[in-house]
Structure 1
Amino acid sequence: MTRLQYTCPGCGTPLGYEGLCWKCKSEQERNAALAWTPEQITEKQRNLIQNIQRLAEMEEPEFTDFWQLLSYHNAIAPEIQRAALAAGVLWPCEIYYHAPKDVRDGLIHALLSTEDSNGASQLMSCLAMQGDDKAMETLLELERNPRPWRKNLYVDPSSYAQIGGWTFDKEGRRTQLNFDICYPMVKGVSGEASPVRIGRARKDTCPHCGGRMVDMLVLDGRDERLQFLGLDGILTATCCPSCVGFLKGPAFNSFTPDGGVEVFPSELFDGAEKADCYVSPEDYKALTENPFVLGKTPVPLFYGAACQDVNTIGGFANWVQDAEYTTCPHCGKPMKYLAQIQWDTVFDCAEGTLYVEFCPDCQIVSMQHQQT
């Protein structure tokens, strides 16, 4: 095997080029954005308003500025939202998160006026992000009385609502699918105690590949920081880190507040009985000895929604594909989004993200994998 010539000066990772690895570079850029002064934030907001069309075209610096304003400062002001609406900018839909009533009404007017299915799709996504009662009433009415453009879309308005972290049933009852508090997982010091742990070793093995099962998330809801989850005890999410991305649907397990786990039977997506294990002993060691601990203070809800090197509890996910809320296999209700674990943060050369959701009523956890 050819030995790589360089190493990252930040973490020592072997590289084929000189400079920082992508994870250290992402951390450097995030720390720089977190250090913005109020004056810098105001200037970036002003530039975004003046050049809002460049955001829709993914031009720089507007595209990066938008995500950093949203993710690290929760600073998408109503003036930015009004400028976006006036210019017909409908992407990223997150720009309309909790937009004021006049912007909401503008989105509703545009949605009810359009005859184009693509435009309707974008507008419903934006309205989902705005997310108030009138937004829900509009989407509910469109679900009950579909417009002609509905036949060109794959899902109903209630599925579009999930983009904003909520949905509704046929009777118009609203269900919140995410939490309005977010904590990051940060690198701790050796031996540091944490109410959340990523990757705890287990002795049992996967029935598909024979690799070791792992408690991918162990969370003690009794910690003061995690009271918002409503868990009076321990939630454990257990799966095979090698096979979870190859299952027919999510991986499921039940949990008990005393830390108990029962893993549900699963099937491989191709119907095969056995699979190869792609996680090496070195990977298992890295996964189960990672340094992540729960951060001390909450962060903006979209803190982990625009980068691939941040693990979070609560808030919004960075969906690699579409937002996907699992249906509880016991009660049939949509599960609540709990956490995201970026695979490449816990062992090298892994791809994609593991999303953890749970049903608080049935005490069931789901884990699903997405990647490009």
Structure 2
Amino acid sequence: MTERIPCIREGCPNTILPATAARTGGYCMPCKQEMEREAHQRYIEANRRDVNLYEGMTDPVEILKIIHTRQVHDPLIRYVAYEQSKEQVYLSLSMEQQALMIDYAMQLIRTGADDTGKDILVYLVCYHDISLSAQIPELLEYEIYYPVILYKSTSAEVRDQLLQQVNTDDENRNNLLLMLAYIGDEVVVDQFQQWRQSPPRWADQLHVAPEYYTTEAGWELTNEGQRRDLFITPSYSLYKVKENEGADATSIGAPISMLLTCANNCEWCGSPLTTLIDLDVQHPALKNVAWNSERLQVQTCVICSCYGVVYMEMDSAGEPFWSAHNVMPMGADEIDLDDYAQLPPDAGRQFRIAAAPRQAFHASEWAMEPSSSQIGGHPGWVQDAEYPNCPCCASRMRAVGQLEWSEVEEYGDGMYYMFICEPCQMTAVSYQQS
């Protein structure tokens, strides 16, 4: 039997055959391979170079084309990110540049790069509220039925085509109903009302009744068959000032009272309640809100809201208090407060509310990673649309804002959604995460 010899690498306990030692210089194969990987990594680190594809570029259209192009991976190249976010570049587009991006997106779709082309169109629809009525017939030719928000502004002819198709196209019916919901004009509203009164033959193939699809587009049918929007407008973004900009920076917008620790505690877990927002009702963001007190305060337990909806009522002075209608959700009684860090007292100090409104659907596509925190505007649902019912009047509550928790805490996750019932003067907060 051939005698094995030890690997010559210090600290290695392996033994190898003499023939292996002759091939590897005395090292076992695991050590030999690890040394080769280390040498390769040292070579990469010594020879890697930064490549700035945007150097000298000022045209946002050309910049966006590069941003949307997947670069071939090369370990010796480190691509420099553009100095602005994708969202910022899109918002800088002029009307002429928006048209150029539409043309580019359609070229991508025609050449088989559907995903990138659709992404570009979604950014344009959400950030600039553009109409794709001229492009929609071609999108339908390519059987593109998603993202459904692309069909928000379409012609009466295409709308009527979709109303016919939904009766026969079993495969795409879910998306067709959502497309119609986003169109949401009088003809569509009347059709959803007819479906509610006389369910179509295909209704039993759906998970929910046809009229419930409208909530994904941010509206519902009233008992009288009218459209009722489920979110307030206009929409104002909530920004967090960067540390190097200083807390008194005015270019971002006006200060807003947010993330305040309350004196009252949650009746489920015992932790202090948090005021997510405290905003003067005279602010333009709340111009379409009927609120009896001078300020709209939305309070919740940021821990228990992750388990279920938390409702708050208003006293005669307009101050929130824990609602007797709250029902403890499953799991809330097992919360260990030691597992949760308390928000620092200045958690909301660096937040500002934008000086000017933005498009109502700006943050509606959560997967686009827009600046999501806002007052007003269509919610950016992480999961399905879930507008809570008011426990007093049973009506769906309207969305008044949302707060992306990753903007609050370094490792935060998920979205807190804020709702109001104006007739009952109640607020509610729910939570979703991926």
Deviations 1:272-307 (A, max 9, x none): 6341234313xx017733411211111111211232
Q: Residues 52 and 89 of structure 1 are in contact (CA less than 8 Å); yes or no, is this contact kept in structure 2?
A: no
Moved more, 231-240 or 343-352: 231-240
The gaps in structure 1 that reach 5 residues or longer are: 1-18
Structure 1 partner of 2:379: 317
CA shift at 1:122, angstroms?
Answer: 1.1
CA shift at 1:143, angstroms?
Answer: 2.1
Structure 2 partner of 1:369: 431
Equivalent of 1:330, from 392, 401, 426? Answer: 392
Structure 1 partner of 2:266: 206
Change (3 A) 1:45 1:168: same
Instruction: Tell me whether 1:342 sits opposite 2:412 in the alignment.
Output: no
Structure 1 partner of 2:172: 119
Structure 2 partner of 1:243: 304
Whichever residue aligns with residue 33 of structure 1, its letter is Y
Equivalent of 1:94, from 149, 153, 156? Answer: 149
Equivalent of 1:32, from 57, 71, 89? Answer: 89
Q: Residues 307 and 331 of structure 2 are in contact (CA less than 8 Å); yes or no, is this contact kept in structure 1?
A: no
Moved more, 187-196 or 86-95: 187-196
Q: Residues 240 and 407 of structure 2 are in contact (CA less than 8 Å); yes or no, is this contact kept in structure 1?
A: no
Q: Secondary structure at the match of 2:90?
A: helix
Q: Secondary structure at the match of 1:354?
A: strand
Q: Residues 254 and 355 of structure 2 are in contact (CA less than 8 Å); yes or no, is this contact kept in structure 1?
A: no
CA shift at 1:53, angstroms?
Answer: 7.0
Change (3 A) 1:53 1:326: farther
CA shift at 1:80, angstroms?
Answer: 2.5
Alignment of 1:161-240 (within 5 A): 161-188=214-241, 190=247, 194=254, 196-231=256-291, 233-240=294-301
Larger Rg, first or second structure (1 or 2): 2
For 2:382 and 2:83, the matched residues in 1 are separated by: 17
Q: Secondary structure at the match of 1:79?
A: coil
Structure 2 partner of 1:11: none
Equivalent of 1:130, from 174, 179, 183? Answer: 183
Indicate the RMSD between aligned Cα atoms, in angstroms.
2.8
Structure 2 partner of 1:59: 115
Whichever residue aligns with residue 139 of structure 1, its letter is F
Deviations 1:217-240 (A, max 9, x none): 222211244313344531211111
Change (3 A) 1:326 1:87: same
Whichever residue aligns with residue 327 of structure 1, its letter is N
Q: Residues 389 and 396 of structure 2 are in contact (CA less than 8 Å); yes or no, is this contact kept in structure 1?
A: yes
Change (3 A) 1:257 1:65: farther
For 1:287 and 1:305, the matched residues in 2 are separated by: 29
Q: Residues 258 and 351 of structure 2 are in contact (CA less than 8 Å); yes or no, is this contact kept in structure 1?
A: yes
Q: Residues 244 and 369 of structure 1 are in contact (CA less than 8 Å); yes or no, is this contact kept in structure 2?
A: yes
Moved more, 254-263 or 333-342: 254-263
For 1:229 and 1:27, the matched residues in 2 are separated by: 34
Structure 2 partner of 1:8: none
Structure 1 partner of 2:205: 152
Q: Residues 85 and 107 of structure 1 are in contact (CA less than 8 Å); yes or no, is this contact kept in structure 2?
A: no
Change (3 A) 1:346 1:271: closer
Structure 1 partner of 2:158: 103
Number of paired residues?
343
Change (3 A) 1:270 1:133: same
Equivalent of 1:295, from 354, 379, 387? Answer: 354
CA shift at 1:145, angstroms?
Answer: 2.0
Question: What's the % identity of the aligned pairs?
Answer: 22
TM-score normalised according to structure 1 size = 0.83
Whichever residue aligns with residue 370 of structure 1, its letter is Q
Q: Residues 198 and 216 of structure 1 are in contact (CA less than 8 Å); yes or no, is this contact kept in structure 2?
A: yes
Change (3 A) 1:53 1:335: farther
For 1:53 and 1:264, the matched residues in 2 are separated by: 55
Structure 2 partner of 1:10: none
Structure 1 partner of 2:313: 254
Whichever residue aligns with residue 357 of structure 2, its letter is P
Q: Secondary structure at the match of 2:172?
A: helix
For 1:262 and 1:319, the matched residues in 2 are separated by: 27
Q: Residues 158 and 169 of structure 1 are in contact (CA less than 8 Å); yes or no, is this contact kept in structure 2?
A: no
For 2:205 and 2:110, the matched residues in 1 are separated by: 27
Whichever residue aligns with residue 363 of structure 2, its letter is G
